[in-house]
Structure 1
Amino acid sequence: MRRKLRVAAYAVCVRDGQILLARSPAPDGTPEWVLPGGGMEHGEDPYDTVRREVTEETGYRIEVTGLLGVDSHRLLGDPRVGRRVDHQGLRIVYEGEITGGELRYEVGGSTDLAAWHHLDTVPGLVRVPMVDIALRLWRERPLHGHLEDVPVPRQVNEE
């Protein structure tokens, strides 16, 4: 089984009761809301990753104001790629404050739209689970930076 590790950094930017999200197509093409952020480049510090990714996806510059936590998930045997893969995602979640720039959409990247959403409307959005995990980290602020009762990752086994 091929092993793959992806390290990524994301920002929770909340102001005036709204959270900044970006929209990305799911593997089936359905748009879903995601946190601004993304994969770390080799040699890049995650602090720099999150600032770069937020600017790329939303047009805003941010100041990182805190480390909310780290989330890890594992997916075994992803049938979408046609072979067995043991994929682990390590996601570093920061809190960010907008310091400049203007809201704009990413062109030619992994997202196509960025928008502010009221926190109370987030449960009604089509979104990736990471949005909920990050919002829990933001609300609960666990001292150890880890949510204890996150459901066990789904395992997809190929036949």
Structure 2
Amino acid sequence: MRRNLRAAAYAVCVRDEQILLARSPGLDGTPEWVLPGGGMEHGEDPYDTVRRELMEETGYRIEVTGLLGVDSFRLVHAARFGRRTDHHALRLLYEGEVVGGELRYEVGGSTDFAAWQDLSAVPGLIRVPLVDLALRLWRERPAHGHLTAETPPVPQEMNEE
């Protein structure tokens, strides 16, 4: 079985009861809202990753104001090209405050749109589960930075055709 580890950093930026989100095309082509952020480059500090990724995806510069938590997620993919994959995502979630730049959209990247969304509207959006997890961390602020309830069993099985 192939094993894959992906470390990434994301930002939760909330102001005036709105959260900054980016839009991704989604795995099946259906647009879905995601947190600004993404994968760390080899040797990159996650603090620098979150600021770089947010700038790339939204045009904003942020000040990191806190570490909300760390999420670890595993997903076992069914055999693809004759090989199963055990994917492990390690996600660092920061709180950020916009300190400069102007809202713009990423060109040629993993997202195609960015916008401030009302917190009250988030439950009605097509979004990745990480958005809800991050908002829980932002609201609950567990001292240990880890949510124990609603954690998916490890590893999850996913059948792909």
In which range does the TM-score fall when normalised by the shorter chain? over 0.9
Indicate the residue corresponding to 2:124 in structure 1.
124
TM superposition shift of 1:123 = 0.2
Task: Return the TM-score normalized by structure 2.
Answer: 0.94
Residue type at the aligned position of 2:87: H
Residues 141-156 of structure 1 correspond to what in structure 2 (within 5 A)? 141-153=141-153, 154-156=156-158
Q: Where do 5+ consecutive residues of structure 2 fail to align?
A: none
2:53 counterpart residue number: 53
* 1:44 equivalent in structure 2: 44
Counterpart Cα distance in 1 of 2:67 and 2:116: 21
Partner of residue 10, structure 1: 10
Q: 2:152 matched to 1:133? A: no
Which residue does the alignment assign to 2:99? 99
The verdict on how the C-alpha distance between 1:44 and 1:119 changes in structure 2, with shifts beyond 3 A counting, is: same
Separation (CA, whole Å) in 1 of partners of 2:95 and 2:108? 26
SS in 2 for 1:114: strand
- Is 1:86 equivalent to 2:114 in the alignment? no
Per-residue Cα deviation, 1:47-72 (whole angstroms, up to 9, x for no partner): 00000000000000000000000001
Q: TM-score, normalised by structure 1?
A: 0.95
> Post-superposition shift, 1:82?
6.2
CA–CA distance in structure 2, aligned partners of residues 81 and 100 of structure 1: 45
Pair 1:21–1:95, CA change in 2 (3 A): same
Answer yes or no: is the 8 Å Cα contact 1:64–1:96 preserved in 2. yes
Q: 1:109 to 1:18 in 2, by over 3 A?
A: same
1:21 is matched with 21
Question: Following the alignment from structure 1 to structure 2, what is the Cα–Cα distance between the partners of residues 122 and 84?
Answer: 34
Residue 150 (structure 1) shift: 2.4
| Distance in 1 separating the partners of 2:25 and 2:82 | 20
Structure 2 residue matching 1:29: 3-state secondary structure:
coil
Distance 1:82 1:93, change over 3 A: farther
Q: Which of structure 1's runs of 4+ aligned residues deviate more than 4 A?
A: 78-82
Structure 1 unaligned spans of 5+: none
The 3-state SS of whatever aligns with 2:146 is coil
Secondary structure at the aligned position of 1:21 is classed as strand
The count of residues paired between Structure 1 and Structure 2 equals: 159
